[in-house]
Amino acid sequence: MTRESPPISLVVGPRDECNGKRFREAMEGIRVKYGKGRPGTRPGEIAEDSAYNTRDARAYLRRMGVKASMSVNIRDKLGRGKGDPTGSIQKHISG
């Protein structure tokens, strides 16, 4: 597939909903005709942006046997905040 190719699956949802929630629905909509026989429904590899990089999406792809080439969301890479490990906030309050 190239940038100029038509979409192989299209899912429409509310504009304020996270794209990752519609990932499974979009994957199940894939039907590609390769020649004789049934159309293919399982790609060998998926290349998507970080909006689809969710735990559920990766687990779904593992179960289907599809390789995931998704960019990592920087917020996920950084992890949750650790609070104030240095105590600098407390110093300013008690000062």
Specify if 88 maps to a domain: no
Range of the domain at 61: 19-79
| pLDDT tier, 83 (very low <50, low <70, confident <90, very high otherwise) | low
Q: How far is CA 10 from CA 7, 43, 90, in A?
A: 7, 16, 51
Higher-scoring residue by pLDDT: 41, 93: 41
Instruction: Read off the pLDDT of each residue in 13-23 and give the average, rounded to a whole number.
Output: 74
Specify if 94 maps to a domain: no
| pLDDT tier, 69 (very low <50, low <70, confident <90, very high otherwise) | confident
pTM for the model: 0.53
Instruction: Read off the pLDDT of each residue in 3-29 and give the average, rounded to a whole number.
Output: 76
Specify if 10 maps to a domain: no
Q: Where are the alpha helices (DSSP H) in the chain?
A: 23-28, 55-64, 74-78, 88-94
| pLDDT tier, 1 (very low <50, low <70, confident <90, very high otherwise) | low
Specify if 39 maps to a domain: yes
Higher-scoring residue by pLDDT: 86, 36: 36
Specify if 35 maps to a domain: yes
Instruction: Read off the pLDDT of each residue in 2-16 and give the average, rounded to a whole number.
Output: 75
Q: Which residues make Cβ contacts (< 8 Å) with residue 19, sequence separation at least 6?
A: 51, 52
Specify if 69 maps to a domain: yes
Average pLDDT over the chain, rounded to whole? 72
Specify if 62 maps to a domain: yes
Number of domains in the chain: 1
Specify if 33 maps to a domain: yes
